[in-house]
């Protein structure tokens, strides 16, 4: 009998929730443009605003401050810009500071010139070096404009949680703008935009069980906003023109509602499964390196290195055994390369690493099967090394 495949790549994308799928299909059957004033238009506008309310609730924000985009990458490209507005008054951002472990969507620097982007080192524990950030902000040339800092709340590869409250304090001390990439944290950590001290949060639908191709920029208020990236008919209060995608937005709203419901208990259960898997991995191969294990991580992620096993070889081996996992970020056109996150943490990236990420529907049996496959691959690696 064919072994049923096991999906353990939730950080790449979460399986679509059945309720989100139904919401998408229902919206596709609705006629009307959400900008139209007739009954059909008003009905689909209501659907969009209800979803906006649910996304705002997930982030502890006001629904008026949620702007829908085509995804987190677009949100990053929109908000990472030197061109802001304070009401109707232009506001210039002079320099962007990012951590060395940011997602590629942030590492590209948005609309900043390359020489207006600085990378801040991280500690061996994978968290942003606060002293280095403080020095960089202290030497910022305010004649060029305000500083902007962009830091992720939870790393997409390691799951390591960044000290965003401390970062925010440093940014606010110099009057800067603080952007938090909350893509991997949404649905796994409580999000309260005010408590995080963020001016903007970036989130994505498909990481929480919604459809792909929809995300949002969630802002603390409506006064200070980035200049529009997409101009046209003035939808989304002029921040993001183009007719909204009601089907994707409806699915996003449902996924946000599910992600917020019983979040704490759900993550306790998921963390327990992850910890049990890691204990089995260490028992099977004591030399396995679990990155970030001694620090604060989101409870669904295990990023590990098996010495002498290349990441691409390991990924294929797991796949052949029916286990879907990844070799770090899945947002690089299917490439399997050396991890810049490991490099930033001081590890030799040539050793490679694999990422297991689980979710609410992961079962005990799947954890046991994954542990068995890991043990098999680890033993095969040792045997091959001895034969060589």
- CA 381-315-107 angle, to 5 degrees, is 125
Catalytic member of 24, 302, 331, 370? 331
How many other β-carbons are positioned within 10 Å of the β-carbon of residue 170? 23
In whole angstroms, give the CA distance from residue 85 to residue 132: 29
Strand partners, 151: 180
Strand partners, 218: 66, 201
In whole angstroms, give the CA distance from residue 381 to residue 388: 11
- CA 327-331-332 angle, to 5 degrees, is 80
Is 331 catalytic? The answer is yes
Which two structure tokens, joined as six digits, stand for 266?
Answer: 């759900």
* CA dihedral of 176, 180, 181, 185, whole degrees rounded to 10: 170
In whole angstroms, give the CA distance from residue 340 to residue 348: 10
3-class DSSP assignment, residue 357: strand
Rounded to a whole number of angstroms, the distance between the first and last alpha carbons of the chain is 34
Q: How far is CA 358 from the centre of its chain?
A: 14
Strand partners, 201: 180, 218
What values do phi and psi take at 108, rounded to 5? -70, -15
Residue pair 178/206 in contact (Cβ under 8 Å)? The answer is: no
Strand partners, 147: 95
Q: Among 187, 202, 212, which Cα is nearest to 358's?
A: 187
In whole angstroms, give the CA distance from residue 135 to residue 156: 26
Residue pair 374/325 in contact (Cβ under 8 Å)? The answer is: no
Residue pair 153/185 in contact (Cβ under 8 Å)? The answer is: yes
Q: Which residues does the annotation mark as catalytic?
A: 331
């Amino acid at each position: 009998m064919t072994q049923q495949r096991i999906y353990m790549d939730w950080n790449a994308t979460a399986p679509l929730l059945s309720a989100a799928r139904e919401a998408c299909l229902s919206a596709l059957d609705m006629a009307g443009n959400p900008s139209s004033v007739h009954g059909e238009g008003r009905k689909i506008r209501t659907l969009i605003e209800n979803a906006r309310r649910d996304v705002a609730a997930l982030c502890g924000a006001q629904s008026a401050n949620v702007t829908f985009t085509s995804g987190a990458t677009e949100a990053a490209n929109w908000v990472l810009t030197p061109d802001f507005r304070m009401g109707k008054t232009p506001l210039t951002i002079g320099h962007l500071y990012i951590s060395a472990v940011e997602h590629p969507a942030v590492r590209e620097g948005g609309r900043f010139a390359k020489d207006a982007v600085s990378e801040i080192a991280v500690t061996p524990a994978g968290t942003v070096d606060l002293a280095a950030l403080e020095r960089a902000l202290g030497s910022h040339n305010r004649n060029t404009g305000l500083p902007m800092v962009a830091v992720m709340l939870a790393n997409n590869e390691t799951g390591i949680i960044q000290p965003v409250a401390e970062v925010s304090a440093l940014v606010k001390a110099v009057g800067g703008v603080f952007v938090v990439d909350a893509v991997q944290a949404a649905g796994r950590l409580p999000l309260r935009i005010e408590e995080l001290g963020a001016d903007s949060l970036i989130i994505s639908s498909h990481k929480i069980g919604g459809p792909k191709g929809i995300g949002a920029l969630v802002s603390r208020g409506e006064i200070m906003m980035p200049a529009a990236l997409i101009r046209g008919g003035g939808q989304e209060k002029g921040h993001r023109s183009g007719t909204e995608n009601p089907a994707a937005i409806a699915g996003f709203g449902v996924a946000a509602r599910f992600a917020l419901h019983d979040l704490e208990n759900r993550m306790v259960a998921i963390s327990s499964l992850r910890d049990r898997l890691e204990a089995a991995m260490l028992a099977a191969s004591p030399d396995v390196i679990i990155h970030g294990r001694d620090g604060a991580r989101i409870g669904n992620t295990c990023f590990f290195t098996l010495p002498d096993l290349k990441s691409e070889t390991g990924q294929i081996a797991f796949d052949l055994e029916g286990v879907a996992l990844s070799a770090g970020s899945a947002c690089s056109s299917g490439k399997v390369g050396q991890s810049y996150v490991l490099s930033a943490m001081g590890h030799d990236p040539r050793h490679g690493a694999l990422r297991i990420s689980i979710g609410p529907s992961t079962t005990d049996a799947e954890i046991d099967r994954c542990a068995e496959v890991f043990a098999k691959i680890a033993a095969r690696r040792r045997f091959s090394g001895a034969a060589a």
